[in-house]
Amino acid sequence: MRNPDENGWVSSSAAWLDRMPERGDFAREFILDTPMMDRVKKSGAATMLDVGCGDGRFCRMAERLGIITTGIDPVEDFLHYARQTDPCGRYLTGFAEDLPFGDAEFDLVVFYLTLIDINDVRAAIREAARVTKPKGTILVANLTSFYTSNGTTGWVEGADGREYHPLGNYLEERADWVEWDGLRIRNWHRPLCVYMSAFLDAGLQLTFYDEPAPSGGPQERISRYHMTPFTMMMEWRRC
């Protein structure tokens, strides 16, 4: 039986729920929410699966469009919060690599900043493709691979006195433990080719790609993001 705390999310769940407002953090509120919801609307989906739903925030957002949502996550504290906050929602315990659903159940499957937390990303993508209906969509928001290659190094000061976010060992697929604000979790770095190959091998077709810019927020955060953008979006269609 798998340990649901293998990537640190059980141990860090209380800190995450304490620090994460309903509007989300900078990346969610000011960069990803608007374009992600735009793609959800354009998908025309009636049913959606959120893989790694956490506290259920994105499910609640999609429900406002009249979409029937299902969230799945291995962390019971997150699911407890989601069920309390959204008592009419459907939230199940499970891992992305072994989804407890039949074939072709959902119009839309979402990975919202969760591929970096999944140990066997290739199995997770195969499972997502399996439970997606023909002509259905898999929508992804993820950290950029050049950003995650840095691991725990973060920003460094250059000889010119300016701050830089250097690359790390880009081609090495690995997991790094990161800590901030009382959280300690393990994030995966994978070169972009790993993600692209996994989706292509699952028989999916790329229909959308973007590296969205911030639409608001503190100017210092915006300026730093433009120096080193750290999020991207992809949309894949099951043929």
pLDDT in tens, the chain (239 residues): 689 999 999 999 999 999 998 999 999 999 999 999 999 999 999 999 999 999 999 999 999 999 999 999 999 999 999 999 999 999 999 999 999 999 999 999 999 999 999 999 999 999 999 999 999 999 999 999 999 999 888 899 999 999 889 999 999 999 999 999 999 999 999 999 999 999 999 999 999 999 999 999 999 999 999 999 999 999 999 99
> Between vectors from CA 98 to CA 119 and to CA 83, what angle results, nearest 5°?
95
pLDDT, position 182: 92
The pLDDT assigned to 104 comes to: 98
In a domain, 176, yes or no: no
- Number of domains the chain contains: 1
CB 144 within 8 A of CB 230: yes
Q: Is residue 131 part of a domain?
A: yes
Q: Which CATH number covers residue 97?
A: 3.40.50.150
What pLDDT, on the 0 to 100 scale, is given for residue 2?
87
Q: Supply the pTM of this predicted model.
A: 0.96
- What letter represents residue 52's amino acid? G
Q: Is residue 196 part of a domain?
A: yes
Token code pair at residue 133:
């209906």
CB within 8 Å of 21: residues ≥ 6 apart: none
166 in any annotated domain:
no
According to DSSP, residue 212 is labeled P
Residue 168: what pLDDT? 94
Check residue 214 and report its DSSP letter.
P
Domain membership of residue 214 (yes or no) is yes
| 78 neighbors 13 (Cβ within 8 angstroms) | yes
In a domain, 1, yes or no: no
Q: Which amino acid is at 130?
A: R
Q: What is the pLDDT of residue 152?
A: 83
Q: Determine the structural domain holding residue 123 and report its residue range.
A: 9-146+191-221+230-238
Structure tokens at 233: 């979006």
Q: Does residue 83 belong to any structural domain of this protein?
A: yes
Enumerate residues 6+ apart whose C-beta is below 8 A from 3.
Answer: none
The reply to whether 68 falls in a domain is yes
Provide φ and ψ at 13, rounded to 5°.
Answer: -60, -40
